[in-house]
Homo-oligomer: A and B are copies of this chain.
Amino acid sequence: MLFHFARSAAAPKPTEIRRKPLAPAECPALTSRHSSYPEPFKSRMGDREKRRLGDPFGLTQFGVNLVRLAQGAQSALRHWHTQEDEFVYVLEGRIALVTDAGEVEIAAGQCIGYPGGDKNAHHFVNRGGETAVYLEVGSRLAGDNAFYPDDDLMWVETETGTKPAHKDGRFYE
């Protein structure tokens, strides 16, 4: 899941728009501890770091993350989005791309995209020894949802916000 639908509606423009180039190291690194998944899913993300590159410039229509996946880490649970288009361009290393069709390798200089509403669930897993680095882009659309064919997780919209639930409807604590 690239940008969780509960946070995916366009944010208000920041009062300060950065007007000079940014090196990703200047952005705070969000680790997999920031995942919105409940356990046991959050821990499965492993050594994953994301830096949000678009936000400092005041971009709200799509998000851009620079992602580092260490050995064993994964991008997300395998999922598909009801509305959000996603795009990934690999900058360093090699990653296993797992979809409904099985597993293929995607390497530095290659890209992949997933149109919103297409039910071909997908994620990346770093099965090698080297850290992989990629850029991910996703539209920010109010009302987007994500589904997980392999896992007992869904998102439920409630009066007090979106909550993670088992597929029988019971909320995670």
Q: How many copies of this chain sit in the oligomeric assembly?
A: 2
Q: Select one of B23, B104, B115 contacting A110, CB under 8 A.
A: B23
A54 beta carbon closer than 8 Å to chain B: yes
A113 beta carbon closer than 8 Å to chain B: yes
Q: Select one of B61, B107, B113, B139 contacting A116, CB under 8 A.
A: B61
Interface residue range, chain A: 35 or more
A21 touching B57, Cβ below 8 Å: no
B59 touching A89, Cβ below 8 Å: no
Which stretch (A12-20, A37-45, A147-155, A163-171) binds chain B? A12-20
B59 touching A87, Cβ below 8 Å: yes
Q: Which residue from chain B places its CB closest to the CB of A114 in the assembled complex?
A: B57
- Which B residues lie within 8 Å of A59 (CB)? 85, 87, 113, 115
B85 touching A61, Cβ below 8 Å: yes
A93 beta carbon closer than 8 Å to chain B: no
A131 beta carbon closer than 8 Å to chain B: no
